[in-house]
A and B are shown apart, each in its own frame.
Chain A
Amino acid sequence: MEALIKVKRYNPEESEETYFQDYSINVAEDSTILDSLIKIREEQDGTLSLRCSCRASICGSCSMRVNGSAKLVCKTRVKEISPDGEFITIEPMGNFKVIKDLVTEMDSFWSKMKSVDPYVKTSFEPEAEHIASNESMTHLLGVMNCIMCGACVSECTAMEVDPTFTGPAALAKAYRFVADPRDEEANSRLGKLNENTGVWDCTRCLACVEVCPKDVAPMERIVKMRDLAIEEGYTNTSGYRHTESFNDSIKKHGRLDETRLALESTGLLNISGLIDLAKIGIKSLMRGKLPPILPHRPKDMKKVTSIAERLDNQGKEEE
């Protein structure tokens, strides 16, 4: 079978420019994209650089963009992406600097990982193992499945605009300790994660959940940590105020009161924040993008109220 592959090339020793190079390679029917790239490297072009090792989706080396979205190429079959022999476009992961061709600089990834103190903190030295339920351990298996391939970071839309965001991989890692019954620092961890660049910076776009090859669902872990942080009383954040204001606005108007949301999220006592907001407000006004002072009322406000009530009650029951 013929695989047609377009690879984004970059070699800093030659030029700062990137370019695309087309390859066509004969591979077996059930070949993966990794098989094809290796074959290209070994038979056609020894200058092509990529990372790979286990070939079995466990080492996390070979995450790259396949037709625009990050995948582990060792578990992505050519046929699946290109059933009719279409060209497949391979690029390095997004949100990372590129070292050469498909190899990205992962330093930022590892330093973010380190920033969440990624090790169990306990003062207690048991003589045997810690006693813990099997459910609590199996629950952590969900995040322990993370192989740190970087696919989630590659597609993270929040990181794209704010590279200082801790990001989905490191936050999923943080969850592993927050939720580990043996860790004694969950509270202070949540306090730290609650600060700027932490859990509230996620825009909940779901991209990380979608691309994760191991079903770690980083965003769900982030959302869970928001809840836990609130439960622990960490409420002095724009993120928390945002959720509250959102909720109030829906209950009151059945729609989002965008002006109020912006003001309340910033915090009515946060003078410098409000000044910044005013600047944005003026710009929006000049471009005709300012939201209405009061939101339009929906036709069936009753329905909205009853949904809100039901959700409130459901929340209470769960507690």
Chain B
Amino acid sequence: MSKHDLLIIGAGLAGLRAAVEGVRQGLNVAVITKVHPVRSHSNAAQGGINAALTDRGDDWRDHAFSTIKGSDYLADQDAVEVMCREAGDAIIELENMGVIFSRDDEGKLGTRAFGGQKKARTYFVGAITGSALLHVLYEQSVKYNLHIYEEWFVTKLIKEDGRIAGAIAFDIKTGQMEMISAKAVVLATGGAGRVFEPSTNALICTGDGLSLAMQAGVPLMDTEMIQYHPTTLAGNGILLSEAARGDGAYLINSEGERFMEKYAPEYMELASRDVVSRAEQTEIDEGRGVDGCVFLDLRHLGKKFIEDRLGYLQEVALEFRGIDLSEKPIPIKPGMHYIMGGIKTDLNGATNVPGLYAAGECANVSVHGANRLGANSLLDTIVFGRRSAIESVEYIKSVKDVEIDPKELSREKSRIQSILDRPKGMRSAELRDKMGSTMTKGIGVWRDTESIKYAIEGMKSIRGQLPNVYVENKGKVFNTDLTSYLELEFMVDVAESICQGANARFESRGAHFRTDVTTRNDKDWLKHTIVEYNGEELNTSSEDVTITDWEPTERVY
């Protein structure tokens, strides 16, 4: 059994940022990740990262207000304040670490505009911001000689005496399963996009951390808040970043009309994502789309501009659709992109289980509320990744080593073995596809009581069929058939909690738009939904939103 002070599960931006901080704080840190760190899904972020830098006349309070308005007033305002106040230092620190941010004419950091905000405060690296950040944090992990369990898959969190004690994981390359003990654990496992089909998310975004936390008795919050991004490719769901619209691209319908005029006359294409996605879906539903899509038009920006600032978008358009963005509008539609909800934490990433923290997309602090502003997620990972590691220091000092019952490991080993021993049955992909299409249909851009019920029933049936799934590959070495199945188990947990959240919230707010109750109801629902697993079933409840300076008002763009 290996022992560490701090075990970080996940090596995306949140995990690596936490790890670097842990080392700086003098802790014995280890990171565990199911893919090599640079393969983590943070690399897919294209557009940029928000911050209000005071030395160029910006105000973090403006950023905070845009974030809160974007969240449709569901974000906890104290959390938003923390994030927006720390954003400036976070960006400067990333630059100092070596991120090659784009510059202005004076050689200082340059910005681009992003949705839901009047001021351009998105810092970026071409159209590969996430990748550029992730690679630099990986560089830092080399500099600090970080201990990384690469390609290890976590299957379970271990608690002793009510507090966190470590995790059980296996080495994907050898199948060797081990107990890794730690005084504190940070979950930084990223998003859960694959619960839906299609999604902009990578195949590894299977919500493992949400399920691990839930199984350990940690509540999830606002799980119904699923962001549909306005510009994804039909079919495979691959994203074309908001950076395109931030840099001036138009949205047009089949009649060539810039339809956002009707929905958000002031912000136009740069209204909040939920607003733009609904506008697009309305155009499509009312017959002004083509094959279920409207169009993103960059022609007026010119080839050089596109290639210099949006190179990766051009690559995606050419590779996956054979379209040169400088010559032709590209068909796009709203697609599942991000989960605002997640593991409930306080302002320092702490959960209700002592020693267990969460940061990044798997966590809900909550800074995104009912709708996340573009380029706020990368910021979230950096700010709260760091904070969770700092927060763990005192805790780690205050607790003694825990004794873990060795039976925990043998029990988990036999659980996995029993999965491998199942007789021939159905393949996990079949069930996963069913889950994905059911969730997309039931918990889509629009939802209502009926559709949510459809999703709940669908998940019940899928849960029932899980034991019939069999793993064809019985080997120990790089058994992706087994990991796919384990991911499916995680995803079913997450899907059910999403359905429960959606069912509970009887109003329309941000991304949760119910066609049977189309208005926001602050009187009854200025509240977070809470979904908790009590060992047998999911319980739902609610909790007040923290309001500081910004009283909820009607949201117009």
Interface residues of A (CB under 8 A from B): 11-13, 30, 41-43, 45-47, 49-61, 75, 99-101, 103, 106, 110, 113-114, 118-120, 122, 125-126, 128-134, 137-138, 140-141, 144-145, 147-148, 180, 182
Interface residues of B in 452-504 (CB under 8 A from A): 471-473, 475-481, 484
Complex formed: what's the CA distance from A122 to B98 in Å? 10
With both chains docked as a complex, state the minimum distance between the C-beta of A132 and any C-beta of chain B, in angstroms: 5
With A56-B44, A133-B107, A144-B125 in contact, is A11–B475 under 8 Å at CB?
yes
**Shortest beta-carbon distance from A42 to chain B in Å:** 4
What is the predominant secondary structure among interface residues of chain A facing chain B?
Answer: loop
Taking CB atoms, residues of chain B closer than 8 Å to A119 are 97-98, 139-140, 142-143
Q: Are B427 and A42 in contact (CB under 8 A)?
A: yes
Besides the known contacts A120-B97, A128-B108, A144-B125, 7 further A-B residue pairs in the complex with CB atoms under 8 A apart: A13-B477, A42-B428, A47-B472, A58-B44, A59-B35, A59-B39, A130-B95
Q: What residue of chain A has the Cβ atom nearest to residue B205's Cβ?
A: A53
A53 with B204: CB separation less than 8 A: yes
**B residues apposed to A, CB below 8 Å:** 35-36, 38-41, 43-44, 55, 91-92, 95-98, 100-110, 125-126, 128, 131-132, 135, 139-140, 142-143, 173, 202-204, 236, 238-239, 308, 311-312, 315-316, 319-320, 427-429, 471-473, 475-481, 484
Closest to A106 in B: B36
Is there contact, CB below 8 Å, between A144 and B132? yes
Chain A: CB-nearest residue to B97: A120
Q: How many A-B residue pairs have CB under 8 A?
A: 158
Beyond A100-B477, A144-B100, whether A132 also contacts B316 by CB under 8 A is: no
Most buried by B among A12, A54, A147: A54
Contact A54 B477 (CB under 8 A): no
Distance between Cα atoms of A100 and B481 in the complex (Å): 13
CA distance A292 to B100 in the complex (A): 52
Residue of B nearest to A107 (CB): B150
CB pair A99–B96 under 8 Å, yes or no, is no
* Alpha-carbon distance A106/B315, docked complex (angstroms): 26
- List the B side residues contacting A49 at CB < 8 Å: 473, 477-480
Verify B96–A129 contact, CB threshold 8 A. Answer: yes
Q: Which residue of B lies closest to A146 (CB)?
A: B135
Residues of chain B within 8 A (CB-CB) of A126 are 96
Set A45, A57, A60: member contacting B39, Cβ < 8 A: A60
| B17, chain A: closest CB distance, angstroms | 15
Give, as a whole number of angstroms, the nearest-CB distance from B150 to chain A: 8
Write 12 A-B pairs (CB below 8 A) sorted by A numbering.
A45-B472, A47-B472, A53-B202, A53-B204, A55-B203, A55-B236, A55-B238, A56-B239, A61-B39, A113-B142, A126-B96, A144-B100
Residues of A within 8 A of B97 (CB): 119-120
A49-B478, A53-B35, A99-B478 given as contacts; is B128 within 8 A of A144 (CB)? yes
User: Which residue of B126, B320, B481 contacts A47 across the interface (Cβ within 8 Å)?
Assistant: B481
Q: What are the residues of chain A within 8 A of B103 when measuring CB–CB?
A: 132-134, 137
B128 close to A145 (CB less than 8 A): yes
A137 to B108 alpha-carbon distance, docked (Å): 11
Do A54 and B41 have beta carbons less than 8 Å apart? yes
- A180 CA to B319 CA, complexed, in Å: 30
B44 touches A59 (CB 8 A): yes
Residue of B nearest to A35 (CB): B236
Is the Cβ of A134 less than 8 Å from the Cβ of B429?
no
B481 contacts A41, C-beta separation under 8 Å:
yes
Q: Could you say which residues of chain A place their CB within 8 Å of the CB of B473?
A: 46-47, 49
- Contact B100–A129 (Cβ < 8 Å): no
B132 CB to nearest A CB, Å: 5
* Residues of chain A within 8 A of B100, CB atoms compared: 137, 140-141, 144, 180
Max chain B C-beta neighbours (<10 A), residue from A58, A131, A141, A144: A58
Q: Are B41 and A114 in contact (CB under 8 A)?
A: no
Q: B43 is contacted by which of A45, A54, A103, A133 (Cβ under 8 Å)?
A: A54
Quote the shortest CB–CB distance from A8 to chain B (angstroms).
Answer: 15
Q: How far is the CA of A223 from the CA of B319 in the complex (A)?
A: 30
Of A11, A53, A120, A182, the residue contacting B203 (CB under 8 A) is A53
Contact B477 A99 (CB under 8 A): yes
Cβ of B550 to closest chain A Cβ, rounded Å: 29
CB distance from A315 to the nearest CB of B (A): 29
A43–B203 CB distance below 8 A:
no
- Chain B residues in 8 Å Cβ range of A57: 315-316, 319
Nearest residue, chain B, Cβ from A124: B96
Rounded to whole angstroms, the CA-CA distance of A103 and B139 in the bound complex is 24
Most buried by A among B105, B106, B107: B107
Q: How far is the CB of B491 from chain A (nearest CB, A)?
A: 15
Could you tell me the distance between the alpha carbons of A189 and B200 in the complex, rounded to whole angstroms? 39
Q: Tell me whether B308 and A103 are in contact (CB under 8 A).
A: no
- When the two chains form their complex, are residues A137 and B140 in contact, meaning their CB atoms are under 8 A apart? no
CA distance A147 to B478 in the complex (A): 22
Partner of B92 from A100, A110, A129, A132 at Cβ < 8 Å: A129
Q: Are A11 and B477 in contact (CB under 8 A)?
A: yes
Given contacts A53-B202, A53-B203, A129-B92, contact A137 B101 (CB under 8 A): yes
In the complex, the chain B residue whose C-beta lies closest to that of A139 is B100
- Once A47-B481, A119-B98, A131-B106 are accepted as A-B contacts, the answer to whether A54 and B202 lie under 8 Å apart by CB is yes
Chain A: CB-nearest residue to B140: A119
A63 to B158 Cα, complex, angstroms:
36
Give min CB distance, A125 to chain B, whole Å. 7
